Structures are given as C-alpha cells and as structure tokens.
Amino acid sequence: MTAPIRQKWQSVRDEVRQRIHAREWPPGALMPNEADLATEFGCARTTVNRALRSLAETGLLDRRRKAGTRVAQQPVAKATFEIPVMRKEIEARGKRYRHELLSRAVSVPPAATAVAMGCGSGAKCLRLRALHHADERPYALEDRWVNLAAVPEARNEPFSEISANEWLLMQVPYTHGAIAFSATSASNAVAIPMGCKNGASLFTIDRLTWNKAEAVTKVRIFFQEGHQLHTLL
Amino acid sequence: MTAPIRQKWQSVRDEVRQRIHAREWPPGALMPNEADLATEFGCARTTVNRALRSLAETGLLDRRRKAGTRVAQQPVAKATFEIPVMRKEIEARGKRYRHELLSRAVSVPPAATAVAMGCGSGAKCLRLRALHHADERPYALEDRWVNLAAVPEARNEPFSEISANEWLLMQVPYTHGAIAFSATSASNAVAIPMGCKNGASLFTIDRLTWNKAEAVTKVRIFFQEGHQLHTLL
DNA sequence: GAGATTTTTATGTATGCACATAATAAGTCT
DNA sequence: AGACTTATTATGTGCATACATAAAAATCTC
C-alpha cells in the first residue's frame, strides 16, 4: 500500500509523472480524463485537476478543453531563476557584503538608453555606478539609470550607505519588467573597477523595470569572471 | 462596478496586486486573512486562496500557516525562461535551421566530466560536437556527452540528420536536471567552428539531465557573440 | 521565570456539487 | 458536398464544508 506521505494531490502528480517517465503514456499520448483518473486514484476530480494543472504549468502536459490532456511532445524545459537582492545573494554564500558607490550624477541618458526606457530623449536621469563586494573582492558592477520623472525622491538619496538595488525595491513599486542574460566582453571602464583583464568574459544581466506605463530604472550588472547562475529543473 | 471579465480568482489576484502596488499594503505588511478577504470580495475562501497562492508563487507574498500572509519585503524576482529545442528557437525567429555534426566518438570522459555526471570514471560515453546554424550562420555550438550505460541505443544513432538535442528528448525520459548559465571566453576549439574571434565572450548554457539516479547526458552550449536570453517578469 | 504543554488560529488540502467554456463531433439544411 | 447549427464532452472555475497542520500565543508546571 502506498502510504500517502505527501499530500494527496502531490502523490497523484508524482504517480502521473512516474507513468510518463515509464513511458506508460509516451510523448503525445492522450491521457485518461480527469474523472476516470479520479476514480482510479480514489479521489475527487478536483484533486486530479490540481495535480494535472501543476504538471501542465511545468510544461510536461498539454491540456485543452474538450480535447483532453496529452503528454507534451517536447517538454520545453522551463528554468526558473530567482534573482535575489545582491546583498542577500552574497551573504547567502557566507561572505561579507559591501557596497561601494563609484559615481553618481544627474544627466541625460544616451539615445539608445532613453529609447529602451521609453522616456523622452531629454529626460533627466540619475546615473549610478556601484560595486558590490564579497569579502572585499569585487563581485559585481552595477551601472544604473534611474528615471527622475518616475522617482523624484532619488535625487536626494546619496546611495552611499544603501545600494540603489535595495533602495528602489523598498521605495518604488513596480508593475512589470524585463530581464535579459548575456555575455559581454569587459571594456576598460568595467575591467578596471572589477579588477579583471580587459576583454574578460563577464556574465551580464540587463534589467528594466516599469511602474504602469513609466520606466523606473534600467540597470546592467556585470558579474565577476566565472560567475554562474544555476537552477534545478 | 468592476465587471469580472476574467475569472474571479484572477480578478481577486489582480485587485490584491493592485493594492500592493498602491502601497495600501506596503512591503512587510500583514494582510487580512483569507476569510475576511473572502467576505470583502464576496467570494468563497477557496477563491481567495487560489489568488493568494498564485501571488505567493511569484514571490510577491510570503505565506505561513497561522502567521498569516504578508507582502514580501524584497520581492525576489523570479525569472522563468523557456529553454526550447534549438531548431524551434531558430525557426521561431524566422530563420532556416540546419544541424551539422562536427564529430562523434565513443570515449571515456575526462575526470571532471565523469564526476559531474556521477558515472564511474571509466564509463563509456558518446561524445558529440555539433553546430546549429541559423540561415547558414553558426548560431550555437553544442558539446555533449551521452552516457552509453543509460542510453545504449545512442551507439547506433548517427546523429547526422537529427540533432542529439532532439533525439534525446524523443527517446529518453528524464526525471530531473540542472541548468547553469555563464559567460565563457572562446577557446580556439570553439572560435574556429563558430567563426568568431579567439577570446570572444560567449553566452554559455551547461545542462545535466538525469533519469532516476543515472546521468543521461551532459551538454555545454556556446551561443554566438551577442546572444541574449530574455524574459518578462 | 524558564521550559514544557495546551489552545488557538490562519493557511493547506480534500470533497461533492454545480455551472461555465472551449472545442470537437454530430447532425441538418440548402 | 459544403456551410451552418446543435449536441457532447473534457477541462476550468466557484462554492460550502470539513478536517489537517504548522506555528504563534496562552497556559501550566516546577
């Protein structure tokens, strides 16, 4: 007898996953409907629904009304990354965190940046460059533009103690955003503060956040050489 | 009157999100409990539960039994990426896909690789190197080890027509895996087939997949310079 | 008063039922 | 046959209810 150590919908989920892996229901196959599965597993349809829904969310199943539930042909791997606040990320690795402001100036961003942020081409922004240290070694370099039209309070914040990274999160609500990962080659402006070779390959995150229709901030973060972002799936 | 265009749990979710963005419930604040919210919204507690659960999954809320539901202090951004099959990714960009096998050989992987895969140090593996082209230009270079103990059928598959990328997905079930993103500097072995400069910064994905306790395959994919992986949040 | 024990409470899950909705399948008319 | 209409069906959602469970709060014990 299979003791339901976990909750019931989870054991249904696991059993279904099991059968899929065992090729009992091969890719593309049409599964029995919820009602039948419920009978088989001896539970309510709601419970089966919960289990199948969670599998569909991970991309293992394709579900359509009336058409039924089928095993995905090519389960698109979905990798979910948590992008933590820099300080927490570093402290989680058991290292001491320090934030160092490199520069702070109000200026008009270059055209490309202004376009990306969707703010007028003459919009005043606060530009911040800062280093995040882990045990006194440069961990990441942050190059940020803050839209002063959206966040006028930023004009009076020195950002010497608290990083913009954290300050914005505390002060400014945002509704949505975009993230992009890439690899960039360290220019001199990056290599010198980071203490790496010119031309080094740096893992880079670009992030744009919005509040309603207004861009709040655009940031590019360069991580030290060899940095990896990983997750399980 | 707010017409519930969407389903009810979704409008509850949206309304709650709205209030959080409006700072009615600032970060860290304790929200009313499910029962009270249900009364306020005029729906069943189940419905509120569904809404709050979905917000908790995105990291906007922290929920604990008895302690209640509170707005996350620092909403950890969760970025979900879909890692599609290479061919689909390229075709989705409206380009022609072509797969080119560079080399195929059975050998014993270097110690580091064997350890990562958790297979014996003398385990026979199939090593495949292949290029994925988009409109006849190198798009990504794949360097893969396939554990022949786990996938003996791979020994007889030429991989000239179909990429290992797709073949494995079709043939071999897997239970779990790990993914890591990083930036690497192109060595000669990579730069030459990719047609990029030696030392170029390449966005790199490492992926390891398992079936039960057995490693199936380990693959490292180098993307052409400038490649970005992006998602909304 | 420190520590162990019980109570309380908010979330988590399960169930039966009902109805909504999308999409296929069947049937009908010209 | 082809276009249109009408079942049929599997999933999606909502609700009332009940009980499970984790954890904070209150209580008891020494």
Q: Output the tens digit of pLDDT for each of chain B's 233 residues.
A: 444 456 899 999 999 999 998 889 999 999 999 999 999 999 999 999 999 999 999 999 999 999 999 999 887 778 888 888 899 999 999 999 999 999 999 999 999 999 999 888 788 999 999 999 999 999 999 999 999 999 999 999 999 989 998 998 888 778 889 999 999 999 999 999 999 999 999 999 999 999 888 999 999 999 999 999 999 88
User: Which residues of chain B lie closer than 8 angstroms to A220, CB-CB?
Assistant: none
Chain B residues closer than 8 Å to A173 by CB: 20-23
3-class DSSP state of A49: helix
| A45: nt with nearest C1' to CA | C15
H-only helix segments in chain B:
8-21, 34-41, 45-57, 86-92, 111-117, 164-171, 188-194
Amino acid B37: pLDDT: 97
pTM over 0.75: yes
Of B178, B188, B231, B180, the residue nearest B204 (C-alpha): B180
Chain B residues with CB inside 8 Å of A79's CB? 80-81, 83, 179
| Contact flag, residue B9 CB and nucleic strand D, below 7 A | yes
CA B64 to C1' C2 (Å) is: 27
pLDDT of A4: 46
**Facing A199 at nearest CB: one of B199, B207, B226:** B199
pLDDT reading at A1 higher than 80: no
How many angstroms is C1' of D3 away from CA of A68? 27
Kindly report the backbone phi and psi dihedral angles of residue A26, in degrees, each rounded to the nearest multiple of 5, phi listed first. -70, 165
Tens digit of pLDDT for each residue in A21-76? 888 999 999 999 999 999 999 999 999 999 999 999 999 999 999 999 999 987 77
List the structure tokens of A20. Answer: 């899929």
Chain B residues whose beta carbon lies within 8 Å of the beta carbon of residue A184: 183, 201
A21:B173 CB<8 A: yes
Mean pLDDT for all residues in chain A: 92
Instruction: Determine which of A164-168, A226-230, B100-104 has the lowest per-residue pLDDT on average.
Output: A164-168
User: Residue for token digits 């079709």?
Assistant: B170
Do residues A155 and A148 make contact, with C-beta atoms less than 8 angstroms apart?
yes
Q: How many Å apart are CA B155 and CA B158, to the nearest integer? A: 8
Three-state DSSP class for residue A93: coil
Instruction: State the pLDDT at residue B5.
Output: 53
Chain B hits for A77, CB-CB cut-off 8 Å, are 82-83, 177, 179, 207
Q: Which residue has the tokens 């490693």?
A: B215
Nucleotides of C under 7 A from a protein CB: 8-17, 21-24
Contact B27, A166 (CB under 8 A): no
pLDDT digits (tens, 9 = 90+) for A87-134: 989 999 999 999 999 999 999 999 999 999 988 878 899 999 999 999
Write out the two tokens for A154: 């930023």
Mutate to test the interface with A, among B13, B71, B179, B181 (most CBs of A within 10 A): B181
Instruction: Specify which residue's alpha carbon is closest to the C1' of nucleotide C23.
Output: A66
Q: CA at B67, C1' at C4: how many angstroms apart?
A: 22
CB of residue B124 closer than 7 A to nucleic acid strand D?
A: no
Determine whether the distance from the CB of B47 to the nearest atom of strand D is below 7 Å: yes
User: Do A78 and B79 lie within an 8 Å CB cutoff?
Assistant: no
Residue B181 is predicted with a pLDDT of 96
* A232/B177 touch (CB, cutoff 8 Å), yes or no: yes
**Cβ burial B54-80 (10 Å sphere, 16+ → b, else e):** bbeebbbbeeeeeeebbbbebbbbebe
CB A4 under 7 Å to nucleic chain D: no
